[in-house]
Amino acid sequence: MFLTVIYIAMGVLGICALAALALILRSKDAFSRAVVSDLVFYTLIGLYVLWSMTHDTQIAYDVLLLVAIIGGVLPTMSAARIISKGRR
């Protein structure tokens, strides 16, 4: 039962990632693309979390910690850079 729920969640997240990638291709401005690319990034993090629940791995929590740190800093900096149009 638990594996079924995880596989369904992985399918839903995969569909969401594909829809977000299609939205990136359709959007015109850079800010929308940056925000949606963050959505794709967090969706892939969720897929990795679900995958690590079903597979034994030694490094899963280390990877998640690094991704959480990088995922919190870089999107904020890129969005600020896009809003300010590259000015410091």
List pLDDT tens digits, range 38-59.
888 889 999 999 999 999 888 8
Q: Is the pLDDT of residue 65 over 90?
A: no
In the predicted structure, residue 75 carries a pLDDT above the cut 90: no
Average pLDDT over residues 29-40: 84
Evaluate if residue 72 carries a pLDDT over 90. Answer: no
Domain map (residue ranges) of the chain: 2-83
81-to-19, 25, 87 alpha-carbon distances in Å: 25, 21, 7
Contact 39, 10 (CB under 8 A): no
